[in-house]
Amino acid sequence: MSRSLFTLAAVLVLGSCSGGSKAPPSNLDDACSIAAQRPEYMKAFKQTERKWGVPVHVQMSTIYYESRYRGDARTPHQFVLGVIPVGRQSSAFGYSQALDGTWDQYRKETGRRGAKRDRIKDASDFIGWYMNKTREKNGIALTDARNQYLAYHEGHAGYARGSHRAKSWLLRVADQVAARADMYGGQLSSCRKFRY
């Protein structure tokens, strides 16, 4: 009896220790706290900035609004008659909330066949790749967090058509993305654990 209790306790302790890296950092309003808690995030963001030119603070704000730093984030289920589940709102998944088709295109074009949406370095690289396409197709600067987010949300063609203009809620969120990017940028510039 005591041996099985010991085994159960050991399993629970080990289980609580695993998967912690998937949990979001505890203070998402403080870029320095994120850097201290998740140095692997900052390494990924810096690598993406060097490769694609998307500033770290723009990546960070995008991920905040897409998934709140949850690697396993998914869109909510849809229900018929309020009770019968019929699937999720979209195939968006992971830190970057990339859709299945867009993720497949990213992996094919970049040769990163093993990339996973729930791995921060891959999600960050995806954001860099996508925002560069936005710059090429829509002429939006990589430093323009607001309009980059609008194109990220609506897609390149949707942004070009102006589909975002009729969505006041989305315009408000895009303003918040820009404000958070500015906040993160200011915090990172004075953060001892992070050097631009």
What tens digit of pLDDT does each residue of 4-13 get?
A: 444 334 433 3
CA distance 185 to 35: 12
CA 79 vs CA 75, 92, 125, 132: distances in Å: 13, 17, 33, 36
Q: Which residues contact 63 (CB under 8 A, 6 or more apart)?
A: 69, 95, 96, 123, 124, 127
Considering only CA atoms, give the Rg of the chain.
Answer: 19
Mean pLDDT by 10 residues, the chain (196 residues): 43 39 85 94 97 98 92 52 52 79 94 93 97 98 98 96 95 98 95 66
Q: How many CB atoms lie within 10 A of CB 2?
A: 6
pLDDT of residue 81: 56
Q: Is the dihedral of CA 34, 35, 38, 42 positive or negative?
A: positive
The per-residue pLDDT for 16 is 39
Tell me the β-bridge partners of 77. Answer: 88
